[in-house]
Amino acid sequence: SGFRATVLTLYPEMFPGPLGLSLSGRALDRGDWSLDVANIRDAATDRHRSVDDTPSGGGPGMVMRADVVARAIDTVSPADDPRPRLYMSPRGRRLDQRLVRDLAAGPGVVILCGRFEGLDERVIEGRGLIEVSIGDYVLSGGELAAQVTLDAVVRLLPGVMGKIESGSEESFEAGLLEYPQYTRPQVWEGREIPEILTSGDHGRIRAWRRAEAERITRERRPDLWDAYRAGTDGTT
């Protein structure tokens, strides 16, 4: 579908990683999307190819240099690139299924993966980077967060998922958690498959699944349950 992903990282060996396997890997092989990986260090100019420097004002760690990172971005993404430029960071907007769907509907993404203590703020402003977090915990770099983001986006691209889970019977698309699933045998360690599921009555099965999805959402995620009931489930 022509979705183009470009990743900027100091650890290009981390890609494609899991994105080269399974659903996303097969989609990559089919040409449903493309992945280009650029080493930020290739944009360094000095003899030691340095990409970071000490924080202005003092303090621990190192900061990624604005000039080097901007050159890396400009090399893969011209000023008129229509693709959003994401910077993976725990300070960012939380990734959710709505953002995933919006990204999948666009032409692609450029994703900058940070390392060290951070990135010079001026390159975030100057290159229009959108900060995105995958959750309230701190990873040692943006690479895994970029892979999580791309995995979630790629499975929504046209042709990638095929028949199963075409994306809308799915919990998060409906704003609910998934109903329980079972497969044979009918009895396992004394536990039975709910008889309704083997009844062949697809109307009752649909109603049972909806009721179970609602129960599980209410019990486990009151925040999602409130949004679902208000009709503002965050996925729509």
| Smallest distance, ligand ADE to C-beta of residue 139, A | 4
Tell whether residue 114 is among the known ligand binding residues: yes
Q: For residue 78, with 0-12 CB atoms within 10 Å meaning exposed, 13-18 middle and 19 or more buried, which class applies?
A: exposed
HSE at residue 220, side-chain half, CA atoms within 13 A, is 10
- Region for residue 158 given its phi and psi (left: phi exceeds 0; alpha: psi -120 to 50; beta: otherwise): beta
* Amino acid symbol at 4: R
Would you give the DSSP letter of residue 219?
H
Contact residues toward ligand ADE (CB under 6 A) are 88-90, 133-135, 137-139, 142, 145
**Cβ-based nearer residue to ligand ADE, 93 or 229:** 93
* Amino acid symbol at 212: E
Separation of alpha carbons 144 and 15, rounded Å: 10
Tell whether residue 134 is among the known ligand binding residues: yes
| Smallest distance, ligand ADE to C-beta of residue 90, A | 4
**Cβ-based nearer residue to ligand ADE, 138 or 230:** 138
Separation of alpha carbons 52 and 60, rounded Å: 13
**Cβ-based nearer residue to ligand ADE, 107 or 135:** 135
Separation of alpha carbons 50 and 40, rounded Å: 10
**Cβ-based nearer residue to ligand ADE, 79 or 137:** 137
Tell whether residue 141 is among the known ligand binding residues: no
| Smallest distance, ligand ADE to C-beta of residue 144, A | 8
Would you give the DSSP letter of residue 180?
P
**Cβ-based nearer residue to ligand ADE, 40 or 176:** 40
**Beta bridge partners of residue 213, listed in sequence order:** none
Tell whether residue 73 is among the known ligand binding residues: no
| Smallest distance, ligand ADE to C-beta of residue 119, A | 11
| Smallest distance, ligand ADE to C-beta of residue 137, A | 5
Separation of alpha carbons 127 and 109, rounded Å: 14
Tell whether residue 179 is among the known ligand binding residues: no
Query: What residue numbers does the annotated binding site for S-adenosyl-L-methionine cover?
Result: 114, 134-139
Query: What residue numbers does the annotated binding site cover?
Result: 114, 134-139
